[in-house]
Each structure stands twice: as structure tokens, then as C-alpha cells.
Amino acid sequence: MNSYHNKKIKISIENLCKNYDDVEVLKDINIKVYEGEFVSILGPSGCGKSTIFNIVANLTSYSSGSLNIDGKLSYMYQKDLLLPYKTIIDNVSLPIILKKEKKKKAHEVVKPYFEIFGLSGYEYKYPKELSGGMKQRANFLRTFMNSNDIMLLDEPFGALDSITKTSMQKWLLDVKKKVNSTILLITHDIDEAIMLSDRVYVLSKRPAVVKKEFFIDRSQDNEYSSDDISKLKKEILELL
């Protein structure tokens, strides 16, 4: 796509292969993520999606291929990892406190984001007082405070009920408009990938190969009809 030509590549994965002993998990994966893009990796359960993230985050080695990251990464897991004995503001401030900043200063830094992230009024509550959706907002904000440059989101809404999930997807789109982070998301939910992404990589069953890359035009003058969306979903479904 022409509009991509002058954009910075934030993540470049080339011919990536990964085996766990004699189990082949990833086979010649090629993925590029450009600055400010929202890209999803869609694939069946167990195909190797989290393995790709763990490789990108340098938590797992790869067998062959190459990987280039231009920027600072943060990684949000599906599981809510908020510390139960700390307030939301303390939880969200953790990445800053870990960088040796004083708590008071860290609170000052994070406070303005509570409004943007729809968390106003929850600053001094404890995780157990929040709904699943609100907890994931806080989890996302903490990830964002760690790095807002490149964010890896591993099924962030996977554990939520479908109504909460839909409202969280709308919330994430809204937040994405306000911040210009580069986001790479893992999901096995076709609707979620279509709703959120600029591009979707569809992976096969294990060993994962990229079956196809879909571009989704999110510009304001483009509106997909429900018919277009159904066709797209069908096409993706046939690949999985």
C-alpha cells in the first residue's frame, strides 16, 4: 500500500521459525507493523500466536529468521495482573516507580490519563472493587505507562463476557484515536480483528504460517456495509 511507504517500520519479523524440541510451531512467519498502526494476528487456538509475542518481547528464542524492533515495547497479558493489595493508581504507577521515580511524582504523571482511559473516580479503589472491563482498562493503562510506543496485547478481552467485550473494543478504538501508539493484538475473534485493526494477519493451524493479510480501510470516508463485513468474515473463516 502506497500510504505505508513513508512510514517507519516498528516491528519487522522475517522468515521466523520456531520449534519446541521436535514440535514445529512457527514456519516462515513474515509480519511488519508500521508506526501508529493497529495490527491483529488472528489464528486458531494453540497455533503459536503467544509464541510470536514472546519472541518479539525477547522472552523466547527463535530457531531461525530475523526480528527487528524499532522502539520500546510493552506487553499486556490476557490475565489481569493487577496487584490486589494496591489501589488502581498505585498499580498503574508501578512501571514509573520501578524506574526509580517517587510515588508522588508517579501519581502526578499517571493522573491525567485516568480521564482519557475512562477511569476517572477509580484512582483510589482496589482491583476487587472493579468490574472485569474496568480492570482491563486499568491493566491497559499500566501497560501504556510502561511504554506507549509499541504495545503488544495478548487477547486483552478474552476473559470478558460478550457485552463487556464489545464495549471494551469500542473503548479501545476511542483510546487509540487519542494516543498514537503502535498496537499489535492477538485474537482468535474474527469480529474483534475486523472491528479494531488496520491490518489483519491470518495464521494457519500449527505450525503457523501466514495464510493471508487483510487491509481494513478505517479512513473516515470509507464505510463498510454489513454485507462487506459478512463477506470479509466468510473469507477469513474459510482460511482458518
Ligand X SMILES: Nc1ncnc2c1ncn2[C@@H]1O[C@H](COP(=O)(O)OP(=O)(O)OP(=O)(O)O)[C@@H](O)[C@H]1O
Interface residues with ligand X (CB under 6 A) are 20, 23, 25, 43, 45-51, 188, 206
For residues 142 and 65, the answer to whether their CB atoms sit within 8 Å is no
Closer CB to ligand X, 53 or 117, in the complex: 53
Give the nearest distance from C-beta 72 to ligand X in angstroms: 23
CB atoms within 10 A of CB 166: 15
Cell readout for 16 is 521466523
Closer CB to ligand X, 46 or 121, in the complex: 46
Closer CB to ligand X, 174 or 213, in the complex: 213
38-42 sheet: strands from edge to edge: 73-76, 150-154, 182-187, 38-42, 199-203, 210-215
Give the nearest distance from C-beta 54 to ligand X in angstroms: 7
The C-alpha atoms of residue 171 and residue 115 are separated, in whole angstroms, by 12
**How far, rounded to the nearest angstrom, does the alpha carbon of residue 206 sit from its chain's CA centroid?**
21
Closer CB to ligand X, 23 or 83, in the complex: 23
Closer CB to ligand X, 26 or 175, in the complex: 26
Vertex 130: Cα angle to 168 and 101 (nearest 5): 95
